[in-house]
Amino acid sequence: MKLKPEFYKGKKVLVTGHTGFKGMWLCKMLEVFGAEVTGYALESPAEEGGKVLRQSGIEAGMKSIIGDIRDREKLMRAFVEAQPEIVLHLAAQPLVIESYKEPVLTYETNVMGTVNVLECVRQTESVRSFLNVTTDKVYENKEWSWGYRENEPLDGYDPYSNSKSCSELVTHSYKKSFFAGERCAISTARAGNVIGGGDFSDNRIIPDSVRAAYAGERIKVRNPYSTRPYQHVLEPLYAYLLIAQAQYEDGKYADWYNVGPDECDCVTTGKLTDIFCRQWGEGLAWENISVEGPHEANFLKLDCSQIKSHLGWQPRWHIEDALRETVIWAKAWQQGADISVVMERQIHKFLEA
């Protein structure tokens, strides 16, 4: 099975979290495909993120609603106005470290926010396909050397990971309680760590690396020996759109799906930074600043056999490809290039891979 861009032409799609890193790229893909997109999210938390949203032309090609998913009444008005056929739920408090600082906000956003979105889906007859995007960190992490499968226990450790486990359980309950018929197919997607141009978040290794490169400084790496399933942002977005398309056309594809790189691309943060420095050039280097801090998993991989066997999905870019495209984007941004053109070029290059 392949993603069919023409499937989305003219489709009404509502995306929560469209001002975030993944949300912006997702809306750009949908714009390229000709979808009628409504976005619902808070303002971008990073000043640079807001600039990307404006300069990429994404907002100009869609209906952008600034709102909080904790505000169910405003969210419901957005659904009533948009009458979406497909809903892709990405809005979240997405940072582990921030979740230790703001646990209540994290649970309110990631758990009750999901309840609010699902309640709007339940009350909107037009919705045929719903996907909740969670994270690879939903699993009870036993630091295994093999990948977690979709039937493993859900029990994230930190408030972010645990709130996403709860978001999964909320989705499971709504699916069984209210969507047993054929009106709306429901899935979740558990993706690994994503990288790519346009991410200006704090406390993420690639945005930190880009900022250091811009400043001509050494990159500071907190956890160089932690293994993560890093992948270019277009990898999971392709999978999300494929899942939403597949279950729209046939409800048998509604399920829980891991979305991550092949084992050869599950690398340590130190190796990731090595490749980034090599791709960037200019003598860029990094240093280990490991310090005692809040708990973060050391080893995490996903078994993606299910999405590969059910939907025929396969990763397209290896980690070197992903970092090369990230560096191309970051240098284009630094030089004031037309980011809309850069993003469209990378989307088409990925689709043709």
Domains and CATH numbers, the chain: 8-352 (3.40.50.720)
Handedness of CA 58, 42, 164, 321 (dihedral sign): positive
Q: Can you give the pLDDT at residue 119?
A: 98
Q: 69-127: per-residue pLDDT in tens? A: 999 999 999 999 999 999 999 999 988 889 999 999 999 999 999 999 999 999 999 99
Rounded-to-integer distance, Cα 64 and Cα 135, Å? 25
Give residue 296's pLDDT.
58
The average pLDDT across 213-239 equals: 94
Give residue 293's pLDDT.
56
What is the number of other CB atoms lying within 10 angstroms of the CB of residue 2?
11
pLDDT at residue 291, rounded to an integer: 65
Predicted pLDDT at 180: 85
Confidence of residue 12 (pLDDT cuts 50, 70, 90): very high
Distance, in Å, from the CA atom of 335 to the CA atom of 320, rounded to the nearest integer, reads 22
Residue 59: pLDDT band with limits 50, 70, 90: confident
Kindly tell me if the per-residue pLDDT of 273 is higher than 90: yes
**Whole-angstrom Cα distance, residue 210 to residue 208?**
6
pLDDT of residue 261: 93
Q: How far apart are CA 2 and CA 313, in angstroms?
A: 8
203: left (phi over 0), alpha (psi -120 to 50) or beta: left
Query: Each residue of 157-211: pLDDT tens digit?
Result: 999 999 999 999 999 999 999 998 889 999 999 998 899 999 998 888 999 999 9
Please report, rounded to a whole number, the percentage of residues in the chain having pLDDT higher than 70: 97
Whole-angstrom CA distances from 103 to 56, 99, 140, 171, 297 are: 33, 5, 19, 21, 18
pLDDT at site 294 = 59
Give residue 9's pLDDT: 98
- Write the DSSP assignment of 181-192 as a string of letters: SSS-EEEEEEE-
- Specify the long-range contacts of residues 139-145, CB closer than 8 Å, at least 24 apart: 139/165, 139/190, 141/297, 141/299, 141/300, 143/297, 143/298, 143/299, 144/299, 144/301, 145/299, 145/301
Question: What was the pLDDT predicted at 203?
Answer: 81
Over residues 245-272, the mean pLDDT reads: 95
Residue range 26-37: mean pLDDT, rounded: 97
